[in-house]
Amino acid sequence: MRGLIVLSLVAAAILPAAAPAGAETLTVVQRSVADEKAVFATVESVSVVPARGRIGGIIVQLNVREGDPVTSGQAIAAIGDEKLALQMKSLDAQIDALQAQSNQAQIDFTRTEGLVERGTLPRVKLDEARTALNVAENGLRARTAERAVVQQQLNEGQVLAPAGGRVLKKLVAVGSVVLPGDPIAMIAQQNFKLRLRVPERHARFLKAGDKIRLDGAEAGEGASQSGVIDLVYPQIEDGRVIADATVEGLGEYFVGDRLRVWISGGSRSAFVIPSNYVTTRFGIDYVRILQADRTIDAPVQRGRDLPSPELPNGLEILSGIHAGDQLVQP
């Protein structure tokens, strides 16, 4: 009984049927479509910059670890130098002594000025007192400025993030000895891009502004994504051309993640028809072809969707139809 049912279904698919009156037909023609090639790309930062220490000393504090997001100017580590602390104590003591000398010089000047006005002392004593006061005040200002320099050096012990992004790697640990200019951590700027490596035989079709296609499964999304090539590097490395592409919603954590993308590798001819001309029965795709006022259901091999402005629901047919065939919408 089951065999009879299968035979009847096959016969229904093969036997011609009368064409409906006034049925809309579509003439199969070849269209030029982009010949997409699959290449590998990696998620990379536009630039990776090191956060460097400005003074030498010992790492006394480390505020970040791999993967942490940072903002520009954020303190990510602190460098301590015992010599600077000792210099600060010495300068504080000198400033206190100079402050006392300046106060005493001010008192002596005031007393001498009063005695000179009453004629008790000659005016030359007033000039000497004024000179001593100026020397004391200038010495105090010099030591205060020197202390500000040491204080600035202590402030420069804070290692600041040069740009906003994500910490790729920390290069030191608490207690490490560093010199001025040593890198403390590597920071990848947040605006990630896809870096494509295209075989040179396809590079002649590649140019800035071309669109690329990225499967949603590759990026962890449900639907496919698209991007635009920003820059094609002029140097060929190991038989491959390097290009950068921007993709909206690209992942923001893993740097170096490999993804498969499709790029345009030229153009080719293909049969593209509206998807509503294809019906599927029992897992087999069919199109209805008009032949001498009769229609037959011919099996076809479905390709991928090729939407375009003039054919939003375009579908590529790999086999089963020929140029000039008249298709009838089911």
Give mean pLDDT, residues 141-167: 86
Q: How far apart are CA 211 and CA 192, in angstroms?
A: 17
- Is the per-residue pLDDT at 2 higher than 70? no
Q: Tell me which residue of 194, 180, 259 sits closest to 231, measured CA to CA.
A: 194
Range of the domain at 74: 48-81+157-189
Question: How many angstroms separate the CA atoms of 241 and 254, rounded?
Answer: 23
Say whether 126 sits in a helix, a strand or coil: helix
Alpha helices in the chain (DSSP H): 2-14, 82-117, 123-155, 200-203, 216-219
Same domain membership, residue 77 and residue 174: yes
Measured between alpha carbons, how far is 47 from 39 in angstroms, rounded to an integer? 23
Statement to judge: residues 279 and 314 lie in one domain: yes
Q: Are residues 58 and 181 in the same domain?
A: yes
Host H or E run for residue 289: strand 284-291
The rounded radius of gyration (Å) of the Cα atoms in the chain is: 40
Domain boundary among 241, 266, 291: 266
| Residues 26 and 273 sit within 8 Å (Cβ to Cβ) | yes
Give the domain CATH number at 290.
2.40.420.20
Q: Which domain CATH number covers 198?
A: 2.40.30.170
Check whether residue 196 and residue 261 sit in a common domain: yes
Lowest average pLDDT, out of 229-243, 250-264, 297-311, goes to 250-264
Partner residues linked to 271 by β-bridges: 30, 317
Together in a domain, 178 and 196: no
pLDDT tops 60 at residue 222: no
Q: Do residues 156 and 136 lie in contact, with contact meaning Cβ atoms separated by under 8 Å?
A: no
How far apart CA 65 and CA 77 sit, in angstroms, is 11
**270 with 52: CB under 8 angstroms?**
no
Task: Decide if 313 contacts 275 (C-beta within 8 A).
Answer: yes
What does the DSSP 8-state code read for residue 196? E
Residues 58 and 185 occupy one common structural domain = yes
**Can you give the length of the chain in residues?**
330
How would DSSP label each residue in 264-298? EEEEEEEEEEEGGGEEEETTEEEEEEEETTEEEEE
- The residue from 250, 266, 282 where one domain ends is 266
Q: Indicate whether 184 pLDDT > 90.
A: yes
Q: Would you state the pLDDT for residue 10?
A: 38
Mean pLDDT value of segment 312-325: 87
Sorted by sequence, the CB contacts under 8 Å of residue 106 that are 6+ apart come out as 133
- In terms of domains, do 162 and 278 share one? no
- Which carries the bigger pLDDT value, residue 269 or residue 224? 269
Quote the tokens at residue 257: 């993640």
pTM confidence score: 0.51
Q: What are phi and psi of 95, to 5 degrees?
A: -65, -40
State yes or no: pLDDT of 157 exceeds 70: yes
Mutual orientation of helices 123-155 and 82-117 as an angle, nearest 10°? 160
Strand partners of residue 305: 315
Which pLDDT belongs to residue 6?
34
Task: Give exposure, 84-111, as e/b (b: 16+ Cβ within 10 Å).
Answer: beebeeebeebbeebbebbeebeebbee
The predicted structure's pLDDT at residue 4: 34
Secondary structure of residue 261 in the 3-state scheme: strand
Listed residues 266, 295, 310: the one ending a domain: 266
- Total structural domains in the chain? 4
Q: What is the pLDDT of residue 220?
A: 56
Token couple for 179: 């010199």
pLDDT in tens, 55-113: 888 888 898 988 888 998 899 998 887 787 788 888 889 999 999 999 999 998 898 88
Residue 183 predicted with pLDDT over 90 = yes
Whether 70 and 162 map to the same domain: the answer is: yes
- Same domain? 71 vs 165: yes
Predicted pLDDT of residue 12:
39
pLDDT of residue 134: 92
pLDDT at 14 over 60: no
Q: Which pLDDT value is given to residue 33? A: 80
Measure the CA–CA gap between 71 and 74, rounded to whole angstroms: 6
Smallest CA-to-CA distance from 134 within 111, 115, 108 is with: 108
CATH of the domain at 66: 2.40.50.100
Report the CATH number at residue 96: 1.10.287
Residues 112, 203 within the same domain: no
Is the distance from CB of 199 to CB of 257 less than 8 angstroms? Answer: no
Question: Alpha-carbon distance 322 to 214, whole Å?
Answer: 31
Residue 50 is predicted with a pLDDT of: 92
Give me the mean pLDDT over the 178-189 stretch.
Answer: 90
